Structure 1
């Protein structure tokens, strides 16, 4: 009886040591994107044994904004968009943006004020129109 338990145990250990599958787990996916690779914008970091400042560890747009502030400039245009006339289909109100869409708060065309409405202006659309006042918006190219 002892011999049969020992032989069964040895058979189990041999089965565990054998490779169960020869399938490779090395898989590589095709990297594809509509956007080309961009440069990584990062600070110099801190020397060893020192806690980095916000300037030293800032990356991306935050770093660009901080560098512009050091020069006394604004990186982002934060001024409101003043309307002098109502946008039409032929001459829409141009909204500057580098993104594929932008949120715009419309309070009405000059002389036709209404409650604040937020509109999502998209680059894919020819125009976007405020449902309240009919002002036409378009993203810049």
Structure 2
């Protein structure tokens, strides 16, 4: 009697266990295994602006961020997927006072860049926003005297073919009247 019950219990477990394993294994589908899924370009594949347009979603599905993102947003997402901070969002070095000989460098890929100075040591005064551009890359905080310098890392040719912007002239500031040797 005891052997009969044991044999029935073993038979039940053997019949049910493979079915359960098989059912779970067939429900797992890898995203890359879908045959009509467009290939997502990597960061190193981006060469032109046309490469920054997403493939879109398949008909009848909701697109993910990587499928629908375009332009700079797509570039940022691709960079984050590969562990690259495309826009270099690290805070500036606030552990030292920037001097004219050794300024705090602010990287910029654009024509101008704003930097917020909170003083040395950090948070010793309210945020003062300093504006730097390619013609005037050095700026000094009026509160603490820390010097910041814009390091341009963008393309050398702006595509316009000229340096002036349709007659616009930057307004003069006090810095225009300071002798260069005092900078």
TM-score class, shorter-chain normalisation, is 0.5 to 0.7
- Closer/same/farther in 2, CA of residues 116 and 69 from structure 1, 3 Å limit: same
TM-score normalised by the chain length of structure 1 = 0.62
Return 5+ residue gaps in structure 2 as ranges.
Answer: 1-47, 153-183
Is the CA contact (8 Å cut-off) linking 2:95 and 2:122 kept in structure 1?
Answer: no
Moved over 4 A (4+): none
- After the TM superposition, which residues 1-141 of structure 1 pair with which residues of structure 2 at under 5 Å, given as runs? 39-40=49-50, 41-110=52-121, 113-141=124-152
| Aligned-pair CA distance for 1:63 | 0.7
Is the CA contact (8 Å cut-off) linking 2:94 and 2:122 kept in structure 1?
Answer: no
Return 5+ residue gaps in structure 1 as ranges.
Answer: 1-37
Is the CA contact (8 Å cut-off) linking 1:97 and 1:139 kept in structure 2?
Answer: yes
Could you tell me how far apart the structure 2 residues matched to 1:50 and 1:112 are? 48
| Aligned-pair CA distance for 1:121 | 2.1
Q: Deviations over 1:13-52 (max 9, x none)?
A: xxxxxxxxxxxxxxxxxxxxxxxxx522111112334443
Higher relative contact order (CA 8 A, sep 6+): 1
Could you tell me how far apart the structure 1 residues matched to 2:123 and 2:62 are? 54
In the alignment of these two chains, the number of paired residues is: 104
Aligned to 1:17: none
Q: Deviations over 1:33-80 (max 9, x none)?
A: xxxxx5221111123344432211111111111122333443332221
Is the CA contact (8 Å cut-off) linking 1:128 and 1:138 kept in structure 2?
Answer: yes
TM-score normalised by the chain length of structure 2 = 0.49
Greater percentage in helix: 2
Greater percentage in strand: 1
Could you tell me how far apart the structure 2 residues matched to 1:72 and 1:127 are? 31
- Closer/same/farther in 2, CA of residues 47 and 109 from structure 1, 3 Å limit: same
